[in-house]
Structure 1
Amino acid sequence: MSSLKGTSALVTGGGSGIGLGSAARLLADGATVTICGRGEDRLRDAVEKLGGGGDVDYVVADITDEEQIAAAVAHAAERGPLRAIVANAGGSTSIGPIGSLDVEAWRATMELNATGTMLTIKHGSQALAAAGGGSIVVISSIAASNTHRWFGAYGVSKAAVDHLVKLAADELGCFGVRVNGIRPGIVRTELVAGIADTGPILDDYMACMPLARVGEPEDIAEAVRFLAGPESSWITGQVINVDGGHHLRRGPDYSSMFVPMFGEEALFGK
């Protein structure tokens, strides 16, 4: 791939996992990278893992706070021509059967994943357009396309993110801004610590994957790098599964985790 030298990139949720892996991959090809997230200690540690120096920096920012994400975008744009934004920050506090979902946890998850991604695209696209165009890569989830029972708002919010990718790509192409998404499958990060190691849930994941292995952050980072760079200059509005083929089958079975938490009656009517 061609060098990203002389360009700037912003990675939200860059303190760990897929965000950290994506930042490392962009740095490797010469980009000046800014990572952001809510925890300063984690961001500081991430910068050290990325080698420190002048090519990587961090900004504390909550993507659901419009002023904070706007400031993070502005900071990245000050460090060089902003050409790439990786909208990776997300998560969930909403789990359980629909009949007992906590409404506040639902709203918080929708706000983080859907609204936070919208705000990142809103302000990021303006900065990219001002710099002459660039690429936004949004991290979605296989839960957007394949139902994950008892995942509450998570899959719903990621499905909203997928549509947002297409809408933004359609609107922003005239400004020279491309927008694409990636749906990771199970990736070895803190989010799935324990699940990705052993047990019935992992066994079920493997049964649902033609390429039966747990993904690594680097697997997603390679796709991020391609979509962020000039090699994909005629690609926009795509949501690509990077999941070992899991999307070809069904969502995973988490009943061994959720039955002890909620009971068989709540999950299966038994």
Structure 2
Amino acid sequence: MAGILAGKSALVTGGAGGFGMSCAMLLARDGAAVTLMGRSPDSLAAAKDKLEQAHPGAKVQTYAGDGLSSQDVGAAMDLAASGEGNFSIVVSTVGAGMSRSIADSTADQFMDAVAYNVRPAFVAIREGIDRIARDGAFAFISSTAAIMPFDGMVGYCAGKAAHDHLVRTAAHELGHLGHRFNAVRPGLTRTPATVGLFASQPMLDRFNERIPLGRPGEPEEIAEAVRFLVGPESSWTTGQSFAIDGGNELRGAPNMAGR
């Protein structure tokens, strides 16, 4: 396919999820060969079909594995590098919000939540630097929780803060290789992971009151920022984390605890 990313190969972890699929759509649209990685073979197959229907002629392959596993991520990268295109793009979307307050968390529960939100990024970086082409671009899905404390989400907030500093550290340590590392911090966005929030109108209203643009985001809006960060348009951008949140960080998190 013709496009500004033609000749490039990309790996998207969490590739069948809301953010991952939206990012893959834009990568394929602009000509990159795309490898989708996720845990569910059935979900990956459905995502592959959707991509190929949306972009006839797109080069799409899948790898079923765990985004927290160095072995699995390395194997998925090897697959991406063995296919069409120069393996030069990694998009890491793996992570999850875990709802526990400090008082309700054990040390192990806290560390599990932190690890689930920072380990996938470290694994993608560590496995990627030995495989990706020089001048490779890494993009990561973070969260406004990296900046704003949310009630009852201590592990998630700490994990995303660590995640973003990892991205900065990678940019600092590995810039001599020509690689770029950036993240986006989505605000409340409509994905399968946020179905519960969207089902609660009172909670949705609380969020919208804290968003200057007055509405939640769509995954395609996050994907546009990711697409910019892995493309040639951002060739002098690294070590950054960008809020894509309708302005939510300007007003702070909503009251999640009803206090």
On whether the aligned pair clears a TM of 0.5, the verdict is: yes
Q: Secondary structure at the match of 1:82?
A: strand
The CA distance in 2 between the partners of 1:102 and 1:151, in whole Å, is 13
The CA distance in 2 between the partners of 1:176 and 1:167, in whole Å, is 14
1:123 equivalent to 2:124? Answer: no
> TM-score, normalised on structure 2?
0.93
Contact 1:17 1:189 in 2 (8 A): yes
* Aligned pairs for 1:58-137 within 5 A: 58-79=62-83, 80-92=85-97, 94-128=98-132, 131-137=133-139
The CA distance in 1 between the partners of 2:217 and 2:237, in whole Å, is 24
Partner residue, 2:143: 141
Deviation at 1:200, TM superposition (A): 1.4
The CA distance in 2 between the partners of 1:180 and 1:27, in whole Å, is 20
Sequence identity (%): 40
Deviation at 1:108, TM superposition (A): 2.8
Partner residue, 1:260: none
Partner residue, 1:192: 194
* Aligned pairs for 1:201-220 within 5 A: 201-220=203-222
> TM-score, normalised on structure 1?
0.89
Deviation at 1:76, TM superposition (A): 0.9
Deviation at 1:197, TM superposition (A): 4.8
AA of the residue aligned to 2:121: T
Q: Secondary structure at the match of 2:48?
A: helix
The CA distance in 1 between the partners of 2:115 and 2:33, in whole Å, is 29
Deviation at 1:168, TM superposition (A): 0.3
The CA distance in 2 between the partners of 1:191 and 1:233, in whole Å, is 32
Deviation at 1:172, TM superposition (A): 1.3
Q: Secondary structure at the match of 1:50?
A: helix
Q: Secondary structure at the match of 2:131?
A: helix
Contact 2:100 2:155 in 1 (8 A): no
Contact 2:51 2:58 in 1 (8 A): no
Deviation at 1:255, TM superposition (A): 2.2
Specify every segment of 5 or more residues in structure 2 that has no aligned partner in the other structure, as ranges. Answer: none
Q: Secondary structure at the match of 2:67?
A: coil
The superposition leaves residues 128-172 of structure 1 with CA deviations (integer Å, 9 ceiling, x where unpaired) of: 2xx222100011000110111101311110100000010000111
Distance 1:43 1:207, change over 3 A: same
Q: Secondary structure at the match of 1:196?
A: helix
Distance 1:39 1:109, change over 3 A: farther
Partner residue, 2:49: 48
Partner residue, 2:160: 158
Deviation at 1:213, TM superposition (A): 1.2
Q: Secondary structure at the match of 1:155?
A: helix
The CA distance in 2 between the partners of 1:234 and 1:141, in whole Å, is 23
**Which 4+ runs in 1 deviate beyond 6 A?**
none
Q: Secondary structure at the match of 2:43?
A: helix
Distance 1:66 1:22, change over 3 A: same
The CA distance in 2 between the partners of 1:90 and 1:137, in whole Å, is 14
Contact 2:118 2:160 in 1 (8 A): yes
AA of the residue aligned to 1:118: F
AA of the residue aligned to 2:122: M
Q: Secondary structure at the match of 1:181?
A: strand
